[in-house]
A = this chain, B = another copy of it.
Amino acid sequence: MTSLCSGKNGAKIISPEFSNLVREVYKECLSCCESLSQVELVSKVPGKRYFAFAARKDISRAVNEDLWSPSLSDWDAFEDALNRKDFSALSDTQINRTLYSVAISFCSWCDLYDDPRKVPGTFFEKYIANLVGRYLGVVPTNSLQVLKFDDDDTELPTDLIFDLGKRKKKYHVPVKTSTRERGIQMWAHQRVIDGVYGTAKILGTPVLLTETKTDTKKREVVEICTPMQWQLFQSHIAKLDAVYYLDVPAKYEKLNSTPIRIAVSPFGAFFQ
């Protein structure tokens, strides 16, 4: 599986070969997950139920029971829709469940069988880069040119940048399996980009997996959210255009209707 996570971003990431590789990975993860037992977690998140996969004495990260929908044929239906750019036969909820199941099955597999610190984040970034890049029809980059009077032009390393072309929309897409105390970085990078290119020129639209944190000893799951701080970041640092989650935290979804609005949606809605 590691071949998927190596190499630099580029045209390869939106190639059919890469998409096939994601399918292969999902297929393997599904057969692996089927063979594992599931343990119920004590959910401290109102309205959400979670379980974890178990192997030996270990348990995986938390899996949202209502989003977990393991099905390779659902994935094929989504891929077919993405290739045709016609999602009319699929609902947001269906799409979100499918995309969540791919991501969470791979992450859970890593938790149980691999180094949990590195691979899930890299896989998730490339997986989302593939989906967004194919949907928008552009190859993402990982840096922006910055003009300086004193030195030669320099490159600013960034999260994924999708540039639809001259006078067309451009997106700055941080991709993370969770933000926790690192959330502020998304706004800070957006601020630098706004400063260099102008406000609202490159739209900040992060794609995030979840904000759950699992206590493997107590077998409890909590969601770590700081909505008050997000509002301070949105009003004092920069404006994020939209925030997408596969497992949307209710505390962040409420920011849709606060005066300092942050548009938080399930990632499935991105494709409609």
| Known contacts A150-B259, A185-B185, A259-B150: A156-B191 contact under CB 8 Å | no
The answer to the question of A1 belonging to the interface, with a C-beta cut-off of 8 Å to chain B, is: no
| Known contacts A191-B237, A192-B237, A259-B150: A232-B156 contact under CB 8 Å | yes
| Known contacts A185-B184, A237-B237: A228-B192 contact under CB 8 Å | no
Q: Which single member of B157, B196, B237 contacts A188 (CB below 8 Å)?
A: B237
Convert A159-185 into 0s and 1s, putting 1 for each residue whose CB lies closer than 8 angstroms to a CB of B. Answer: 000000000000000000000001011
User: Are B188 and A191 in contact, CB atoms less than 8 angstroms apart?
Assistant: yes
Q: Which single member of B154, B185, B195 contacts A236 (CB below 8 Å)?
A: B195
Closest to A185 in B: B184
The answer to the question of A189 belonging to the interface, with a C-beta cut-off of 8 Å to chain B, is: yes
Q: Give Cα A19–Cα B192 distance, bound, in whole angstroms.
A: 41
Which residues of chain A in 247-272 are interfacial with respect to chain B, using CB atoms and an 8 Å cutoff?
Answer: 258-259
Q: Which single member of B189, B196, B228, B259 contacts A184 (CB below 8 Å)?
A: B189
User: Are B188 and A232 in contact, CB atoms less than 8 angstroms apart?
Assistant: no
The answer to the question of A39 belonging to the interface, with a C-beta cut-off of 8 Å to chain B, is: no
For A, the interface residue count at a CB cutoff of 8 angstroms equals 26
Closest to A260 in B: B150
User: Chain A interface secondary structure, helix, strand, loop or mixed?
Assistant: helix
Q: Give Cα A185–Cα B156 distance, bound, in whole angstroms.
A: 16
Which residues of chain A in 118-159 are interfacial with respect to chain B, using CB atoms and an 8 Å cutoff?
Answer: 146, 150-151, 154, 156-157
| Known contacts A191-B236, A235-B195: A228-B185 contact under CB 8 Å | no
The answer to the question of A187 belonging to the interface, with a C-beta cut-off of 8 Å to chain B, is: yes
The answer to the question of A18 belonging to the interface, with a C-beta cut-off of 8 Å to chain B, is: no
The answer to the question of A229 belonging to the interface, with a C-beta cut-off of 8 Å to chain B, is: yes
Please list 14 pairs of residues, one from A and one from B, whose beta carbons are closer than 8 Å in the complex, sorted by A's number: A156-B228, A156-B229, A182-B185, A185-B185, A188-B188, A188-B233, A191-B191, A192-B232, A192-B236, A192-B237, A195-B232, A195-B236, A196-B236, A237-B237
